[in-house]
Amino acid sequence: MTFPRLFAALAAVSFASAVGAQQPTQPQLAITSANRTLTVTADDTISVEPEVALLHVGFETQPGDSKSVYADGARTSNAIIDALKQDGVQQSEIRSESQFMNRDYNVEKARKYKLTQRWTVRTTPERAAEVLDTAVSAGANTSGEIEWTVKDEKALEEQALGRAADRAKENAAVLAKSMGVKLGALIYVSNQISSPYPRPMPMAMAARAVGGAPPPPLAIEPQKVTRAANVYAVYAIE
């Protein structure tokens, strides 16, 4: 193949790759005889078992006047925290998210209020169901959201990024060899890391019936922690 035909073929490959892979934030590379490039993209995902469970627990009072609602909320609030501590949860593993008292506009005839409070409780995946059960038994009725994570999220992201980068280099080498050209220096590279799974929504939990044997805790299976990485790279070709 003559040089003009070879260049035309490589230019077409580079242009097709650039159109399919470039994002709006990535530079638009001009394809000329002085700019012979090879563009690759690569994705990789890593999933591991969780090491930490971040459990979101909270409660909402029944409507009432501000003083009675606050008193009822205070009793429920302290009952939940005391129960968690008695169940072995350390105070340092409990963090307040929010607490507020708002008017309940669903009640038209009288001015009524509701008090809402939420915490984040850090525990192990193995104890997530047990801790949730303890909180609900003590009065938590807007609980159940769990975030599964690891102790070192940065290390997990670096693993995913490293694997995506290795795959990008391998793809570039294979493509260059297949096209009969020599891979040159790296001109440009960008990356993106994401978590494929959205954060779960909180769920309301009904109050437990009085009397009778308490039901067992929910059957909760920990979700794997996943990080995905994308690498976009542009190489010169010789």
All domains of the chain, ordered by start, with CATH? 3-48+153-196+228-237 (3.30.110), 52-149 (3.30.70.2970)
Identify the weakest region by mean pLDDT among 18-32, 82-96, 175-189: 18-32
106/33 Cα distance (integer angstroms): 71
Q: Is the per-residue pLDDT at 10 higher than 60?
A: no
Per-residue confidence band for 34, with pLDDT thresholds at 50, 70 and 90 = low
| C-beta atoms surrounding 174 within 10 Å | 12
Using alpha carbons, list the distances in angstroms from residue 155 to 23, 69, 204, 223: 26, 46, 34, 19
Q: How far apart are CA 84 and CA 74, in angstroms?
A: 16
Would you state the structure tokens that stand for residue 215, as one six-digit string? 């039901």
The residue behind tokens 């501000």 is 66
Q: Indicate whether 43 pLDDT > 70.
A: yes
- C-alpha distances in angstroms, 18 versus 9, 22, 116? 14, 5, 51
Q: Is the pLDDT score of 206 beyond 80?
A: no
| CA distances (Å), origin 63, targets 73, 108, 179, 194, 230 | 11, 12, 72, 41, 50
> Looking at beta carbons, which pairs linking 87-93 to residues 24 or more positions away fall under 8 Å?
87/130, 87/131, 87/134, 89/121, 89/123, 89/131, 93/121, 93/122, 93/123
Q: What is the average pLDDT across 193-211? A: 56
Helix (H) or strand (E) holding 8: helix 3-21
pLDDT of residue 1 exceeding 50: no
Mean per-residue pLDDT for 16-43? 64
* Average pLDDT, rounded, for the chain: 84
Cα angle 64, 70, 73 (rounded to 5 degrees) comes to 95
pLDDT at 110 over 60: yes
Q: Are 231 and 188 in contact (CB under 8 A)?
A: no
Strands 225-237 and 94-103: unpaired
Tokens 């793809």 label which residue?
Answer: 171
- Local structure of 236: helix, strand or coil: strand
